[in-house]
Every structure is written in structure tokens, then in C-alpha cells.
Structure 1
Amino acid sequence: MDNFLAARSQMALSLGFHIIFSCIGMVMPFFMAVSHFMWLRTGNENYKNVTKAWSKGVAIFFATGAVSGTVLSFELGLLWPEFMKHAGPIFGMPFSLEGTAFFIEAIALGFFLYGWGRFNKWFHWFTGVIVGLSGIISGILVVAANSWMNSPAGFDYANGKYTNIDPIAAMFNKAWFSQSLHMTIAAFAATGFAVAGIHALMILRKTNIGFHSIAFKIAAVFAIIAAVLQPLSGDISAKFVAKTQPAKLAAMEAHFNTERNAPLIIGGIPDEKNKKVDYAVKLPGMLSLMINGDTNSEVKGLDAIVVNDQPPVSVVHYAFQIMVALGMLMLGISLLSFIALLRKRAWFKQRWFLKLFVFATPLGFIAVEAGWTVTEVGRQPWIIQGIMRTADAVTPMPGIVYSFYLFTAVYVSLAIAVVFLLNRQIRMVPEIYDINTKY
């Protein structure tokens, strides 16, 4: 493994872990705030127990997210010094603001965790809401920085120099809204299905059914709403990618030839040598329709892209197909859940229905990982789209492969610790919480 591959692998590993920690850290506070609100309104102690249990989970993921995020910030400078030399002054603002949001989140979480019985009950609830809002803002700011890499703005580039820098224009580049919307909804869907699935499993095991039923319903509602909205945000993102990163779209669809009435390709095995896709289902004209609103419109293929500027087609295509397929599965479960909410409430107690959510537990996060693979690998060979190649940004320092092995061990250990702590938390009997705490 050479330095370039080791650096990319280490960054991919770090992002792969951090994105799960950060998604859960962004979304779980909202689940917590809803259950807390319901306890304040109803006095049902199960809501309070759920709130306290979830708050411990939020604390775990806040800590792990902080550690993995800090590692990422250092890796940007250590692994990609040429990139940071030029890009830092341009897109540094969202990272600075994200730091502010992070500090607010940390303070609010401290107030919430240690505020039981010490604050006004509604102020205490509000601190939990602030944890969620600041977490969402942090996530949007980080995605804004990433979107700048896909849609660079806020500077003029000529003769290898970056001039007329405008950090505001860089932060609010053309891609920030579509990427932030898609990522935020994905975080809610992934976390919602994961949390709902865990509590559904505990219900099936007949463990503390009252406690887990409440937790399941709150998480499931967030999950199914997000899963229904996700295809809409995906459509917005895909149309933007078609306009600004045609090579990425062509790789996503394994669309080798520029043509009108372009088909939508479902599945298939890309044959990059012979420029075709085997064993795929092709829907004539649908890609043209989805991208341009006209079945006869032209869609640019990989043949219109210089070979050295093309991303790895197979990786991007498979990742995109996995993301879409899992999104459709979650959408199907969501539609059944809306039927259950509106007409078939008894389904929520049926084993087959709960098993659907248990099955869906990992789907959202697999889809998130696949989506980020599309985003990052689909931009290759560029680290800044059309401006700087990834190979030109990597550190010349030798021995990165050993750093990769070390960080792999660290992240695997961190993941094991998180699983252990969460497993212990999930199995805790709700009655151990102090149900006599009064405001």
C-alpha cells in the first residue's frame, strides 16, 4: 500500500466511523426532547425513564463523536497539507462556526444531564432541545464545507493562485443546501430506524414492554417521516449533481454514452473495458426525464469526460444502487407504518411488524455509508472539483501506512467500547432510575 492509498484509506476509515457517531449525536437529542416533553405533559414515568436512558446514549455518542471529529480535523492537516494550505482560508469559516456550535452543544448537554431536580422543568427541557439544534447546526456546517469541495465558490483561481477570497460565498456555495438537506434527513432516517429496531427487538423479547413500546413509537415516527422525505431530497441532489458534476452522475448510473432518451439503470454489473452494463434493468427515457423533465433530453455520459477525470465507475455505481435500494426498503416500511398509524394500530403489537423494524435496524446507516462513498469517490480524481487533484494534495511524509494501521486499531477499539456501553445501557432495567426526582 503506497502513501496515497494509505492516506485515502485512513480518511475513509475516519469518516466512516465519525459519520455514524455524528448522525446519532445529531438526532437522538430530538428523540430525548420528545419523550421529556411527553413526561412533563402526562406524568407517565415511562417517558421519564426513556428520556434518562436516551440522555445517557446521547452522552456516549457526544463523547465518541467529539473524539472522532477531532481526529478528522487533525487528519486534514496531516494527510492533506497542500489542500489545507490553499483551502483553509477559503472554507475555514464553517469549521470555525461548527466549533462554536459544538461548545454550545457541550454546555447544553451538561445542563441537561446534571439539571434533573435543579432547574425549572421547562428550562431543563429547553436545554435538551438546544443540544439537538446545535448538533444539527454543527452537522450542516460540516456538510457545507464538504459541499464546497464539490462546488467550489468564493474565490478566483488563476495561474495556481487563489485570490478575491469570500468565505461567506464559499460556505453558502451552490451545493450546500441540497447536500445539507439530504444528509440531515438521512441522519434522522438512519438513527430512527436503528433506535426503533433495537427497541422493537426488546419488545419481541418481552423485556420491559411499557418502556420499550414508548421508545419504539417515538423513534419509529421520526424514522418513517424522514424515510418518506428522503427520496425528495435525493431528487434535488441528483439534479444538482447532473448540472455541476456530470462525471459523478454518469458513474452513479454507469451511463457510458452521451445520449437522448437516456435509460435509468437499475442494478447491473458495469463493464468499464467494453463501456456497457451487464444484467441491468433499463427503463428507457427515465434518466432523461428525472434529470431534465423531458424523456428526449440529452444526458452526458462518461464518453464526454476525459479519461483521467473519470471516477471509478463500479465503486460509485454499486454504492449508489445500495443507497437507493435501501432507501426504497425503508420507504416501503414507512408506508406500511403510516397505514398502521392511520387505520391499523394493532399492527404495532404484531410480531411481523416489529420484525420489520428489527430487520431495518442497520439499513439506514449502510445507506449513509454508501451515500458518502458516492459523494467522495464520485468526485475523484478531484479533492476540489475541477481545481485540485487528490494526488496533488497528499502529504509527502513517509510511513502513512503505519498511521493507517494504528488508527484502524483505535477506531475498532472505540467501536467495541461504544457497543459494550450501549448494550449495557439497553439492558438496564428502567426501574433503576430515580423515579422520585422532582423539579
Structure 2
Amino acid sequence: MDDLIAARSQMALSMAFHIIFACIGMVMPFFMATSHYKYLKTNDYHQKALTKAWSRGVAIFFVTGAVSGTMLSFELGLLWPEFMLHAGPIFGMPFSLEGTAFFIEAIALGFYLYGWDRFNKWFHWFTGVVVGLSGLASGILVVSANGWMNSPTGFDYVDGKYINIDPIAALFNDAWFTQALHMSLAAFAATGFAVAGIHALMLINGKNKVFHWKAFRIAIVYGGIAALLQPISGDISAKDIAVRQPAKLAAMEAHFETSKSAPLLIGGIPDVEKKEVNYGIKIPGALSFLAHGDFEKEVIGLDQFPEDEQPPVMITHFAFQIMVGLGMIMMVLSILYFFSTWKKKYWQEKRWFLWLFVLATPIGFMAVEAGWTVTELGRQPWIIYGFMKTKDALTPIPGIQISFMIFTAVYVSLSVIVSFLLYRQIKSLPNMEGEQPAENQSSTQH
């Protein structure tokens, strides 16, 4: 493993772990605030218990997200110093604003966790909403920085120098909105399905049914709505990429030759040497329509780019197919849930129905990982698209392989610790079936 592969592998590993912590940290506060709101409106003690249980989960993922995110920040400077030398002054604004959002989130979370019976009940609830909004803002700002790497703006490039820097233009680059929308919906879908799946498993086990039903419904409504909206976001992103990064679109679709009425490829195994795809299903003209809104429009293929500027086709194509396939499964399950709520409520008591969502627990995050693989590998060989190649940003310091192994150990340890803490949280849930606390009994008597 040479230094470039080791550095890229380390960044990929770090992002793969951090993106899960970040997604849950962005979304879980909204679940928490929703159950808290229901408790305040109905005085339902199950909702209060659920709120407190979820708030402890939010705290766990806030801490682990902070640790993994901080490590990523250091890695940018340590592994890619040439990139940070030039890019830092240009896209530093979203990172500084993200730090501010993180600071607000930390304060609000502290208020929320220790605010029970100490603050006005609605102010206490509002601090939970602030946790969610600031976490979401933090994620969007980081995605904006990544969007700048895919669509660099806010500077002039003259004689190898980056001058006339405009950080506002860099912040609101051409890719920030489409990437932020797609990532936000993906985070809600992935977290919603993961949380719903865990509570569905608890329902199958037959304990705390009222508690877990309330949790399941909140999570799947958020996740289901996001999953149904995601194809709209995907269509917007595809049309945007077709204009800004045609090489990425060509790699996603294994589209080797520029052509009009380009077919949409479903599945298939690309043969890079022969420039063809085997075993795939092609829908005539569909790629032209999805990319440009016209079945006859020309779609640029990989033949328009030098070989050393083409993304790795095999992995990018497979990752894209996985992302789309898993997204379609979540769409179908979302439709199934909303249809059952509308017409077939008794389905939700069936084990087969619950098992569908248990089996779907990890697929949202699998889709997120695949999507980020498409985003990052599809930009290669560029670290700043069209301006700086990844190999030119690499640190000259040797020994990155050792760093890669150390960071791998750290992230594996973090995952084990988080899994243990979450398992302990689930096991410690009280058995509240048929119980009612004194505060609710007295209010019922009155």
C-alpha cells in the first residue's frame, strides 16, 4: 500500500464511521423533540420515558460525533497540507460557521439534558428543538464545504495562484444546495429506518409494546417521508451533476461513449478494458431524459476525458446501483407503512410486517455509505475538481500506513464503545407495560 492509497483509505475509513454518527446526531434530536411535544400535549408518561431514553442516545452520538469529526479535521491538515494551504482561505467560512453551530448545539444539549423540572416546560422543549436545528445546520455547512470541492467557486486561478477570494461565493457554491438537500433527506431516512427497525424488534419480543409502538411510529414517519422525497432530490442532483461533473455521471452509469438518446443502465458489470457493460438492463433514452429532461439529448461519456482524469468506473457504478436499489426498497416500505396506516391497520400487528422493518434496519446507512462513495470516488482524480489532483495534495511525510492502522483501531474502538452503550441503554428500558406513574394517576382521578 503506497502513501496515496493509505491516505485515501484513512480518509475513507474516517468518513465512513463519522457519517453514521453525524447522521444520527443530526436527526435523533427531532425524534426526541417530537416525543417531548407529545408528552407536553397529552401528559402521556410513555412519551416522557421515550423522550428521556432518546435524549441519552442523542448525548452518546453527540460525543462520538464530536470526537470523530475532530479527528477528520486534523486529518485534512496532516494528510493533505497542499490542499489546505490553498483551499483553507477559500472554504474556511463553512467550517468556522459549523464550529459556531456545534457550539450552540452543545449549549442547548446541556440545557436540555439537565433542564427537566428546572426550566419552564416549553422553554425546555425549545432547547431540544435548538439541538436539532443546530445539528442540521452543522451538517449542511460541512456538506457545503464538500460541495465546494465538487464545484469550486469564489476565487480566480491565475499563474497557479488562488486570488480574489470571495468566501461567500465559495459557501454558496453551485453544488451546496443539491448536496445538502440529498444528504439531509438521506440522514432522516437512514436514521428513521434504523430506529424504527430497533423498536420493531422490541415489539416482536413482546415487551413494552405501548412504548415501542410510539417510538416506532415517530421514527418511521420521519424516515418514510424522507425516503419518499429522496427520488425528487436524486433527480435534481443528477441533472446538476450532468452539467457540472459529466465524468462523474458517466462513471455512475458506466456510460463509456458519448451518445444521444443515452440509455439508463440498471445493474450490469462494467468491462473497463473493452468499454462495455455486461448483464445490464438498458432503458433507451432514459438517461438523456433524467440528465437533461429530453429523451434525445446527448449525454457525455467517458470517451471525452483523458484516461488519467476518469473516475474509477467499477466501484462508482456499483456504489451508485446499491444506493439507488436500497433507496427504492425504503420507498416501497414507506408506501407499505402509510398504506397500512390508512387502510390496513391490522397489518401492523403482524410479525411479517414488523420483520420487514427489522431487516431494513441497516439499509439506510448502507445507502448513505454508498452515496458518499459515489460523491468522493466520482470526483477522482481531483481533490478540487478541475484545479488540483488528489496526488498533488498529499503530504510528503512518510509512514502514513502506520497512521492508517492507528486511526482504524481508534474508530473500531469507538464503534465497539457506542454499540455497548446503546445496548445497555436498550436493556435498561423500564418495563412499563400496564404501569402508570403517580402524577398521571392523580390527574386521571381529578
Offset at residue 436 of structure 1 (A): 6.6
Offset at residue 87 of structure 1 (A): 0.1
Which residue of 1 is the match for residue 112 of structure 2? 112
Partners in 1 of 2:8 and 2:26 — Cα distance? 26
Which residue of 1 is the match for residue 224 of structure 2? 224
2:176 is the alignment partner of 1:176 = yes
* Gap regions ≥5 residues in structure 2: 441-446
* Gap regions ≥5 residues in structure 1: none
Partners in 1 of 2:270 and 2:377 — Cα distance? 16
Offset at residue 437 of structure 1 (A): 8.5
Partners in 1 of 2:439 and 2:416 — Cα distance? 33
Partners in 1 of 2:428 and 2:346 — Cα distance? 27
Per-residue CA deviation, residues 80-121 of structure 1 (Å, 9 max, x unaligned), is 000000000000000000000000000000000000110100
Relative to structure 1, the CA distance from residue 434 to residue 112 in structure 2 (aligned partners, 3 Å threshold; closer, same or farther) is farther
Which residue of 2 is the match for residue 293 of structure 1? 293
Per-residue CA deviation, residues 288-307 of structure 1 (Å, 9 max, x unaligned), is 11111111110000001111
Offset at residue 250 of structure 1 (A): 0.2
Q: Which amino acid aligns with 1:325?
A: G
Instruction: Describe how 1:81-230 pairs up with structure 2 within 5 A.
Output: 81-230=81-230
Partners in 2 of 1:295 and 1:337 — Cα distance? 34
TM-score (norm 1): 0.98
2:55 is the alignment partner of 1:59 = no
Q: Which amino acid aligns with 1:272?
A: V
Q: Which amino acid aligns with 1:122?
A: W
Partners in 2 of 1:299 and 1:105 — Cα distance? 44
Question: Runs in 1 of length 4+ with deviation above 6 angstroms?
Answer: none
Contact 1:116 1:437 in 2 (8 A): no
Partners in 2 of 1:236 and 1:157 — Cα distance? 29
Offset at residue 429 of structure 1 (A): 2.6
Relative to structure 1, the CA distance from residue 371 to residue 436 in structure 2 (aligned partners, 3 Å threshold; closer, same or farther) is farther
Per-residue CA deviation, residues 303-339 of structure 1 (Å, 9 max, x unaligned), is 0111110000001000000000000000010111110
Relative to structure 1, the CA distance from residue 435 to residue 306 in structure 2 (aligned partners, 3 Å threshold; closer, same or farther) is farther
Relative to structure 1, the CA distance from residue 24 to residue 134 in structure 2 (aligned partners, 3 Å threshold; closer, same or farther) is same
Offset at residue 428 of structure 1 (A): 1.6
Which residue of 2 is the match for residue 22 of structure 1? 22
Which residue of 1 is the match for residue 45 of structure 2? 45
Partners in 2 of 1:430 and 1:254 — Cα distance? 52
Which residue of 2 is the match for residue 326 of structure 1? 326
Which residue of 1 is the match for residue 3 of structure 2? 3
SS at match of 2:278: strand
Which residue of 2 is the match for residue 415 of structure 1? 415
Which residue of 2 is the match for residue 256 of structure 1? 256
Which residue of 2 is the match for residue 236 of structure 1? 236
Q: Which amino acid aligns with 1:335?
A: I
Q: Which amino acid aligns with 2:361?
A: T
Q: Which amino acid aligns with 1:88?
A: G
Partners in 1 of 2:361 and 2:367 — Cα distance? 11
Relative to structure 1, the CA distance from residue 258 to residue 52 in structure 2 (aligned partners, 3 Å threshold; closer, same or farther) is same
Q: Which amino acid aligns with 2:271?
A: D
Partners in 1 of 2:412 and 2:20 — Cα distance? 13
Q: Which amino acid aligns with 2:2?
A: D
Moved more, 213-222 or 421-430: 421-430
TM-score (norm 2): 0.97
Q: Which amino acid aligns with 1:267?
A: G
Offset at residue 37 of structure 1 (A): 0.4
Q: Alignment length, in residue pairs? A: 438
Contact 2:197 2:359 in 1 (8 A): yes
Offset at residue 431 of structure 1 (A): 5.3
Contact 1:117 1:437 in 2 (8 A): no
Instruction: Describe how 1:232-381 pairs up with structure 2 within 5 A.
Output: 232-381=232-381
Contact 1:211 1:430 in 2 (8 A): no
Contact 1:242 1:291 in 2 (8 A): yes
Partners in 1 of 2:74 and 2:327 — Cα distance? 33
Contact 2:53 2:429 in 1 (8 A): no
Q: Which amino acid aligns with 2:152?
A: P
Q: Which amino acid aligns with 1:389?
A: K
Offset at residue 19 of structure 1 (A): 0.3
Contact 2:285 2:296 in 1 (8 A): yes
Moved more, 419-428 or 273-282: 419-428
SS at match of 1:430: coil
CA RMSD in angstroms comes to: 1.3
Q: Which amino acid aligns with 2:29?
A: P
Partners in 1 of 2:23 and 2:305 — Cα distance? 34
Offset at residue 430 of structure 1 (A): 2.7
Which residue of 1 is the match for residue 443 of structure 2? none
Partners in 1 of 2:425 and 2:63 — Cα distance? 15
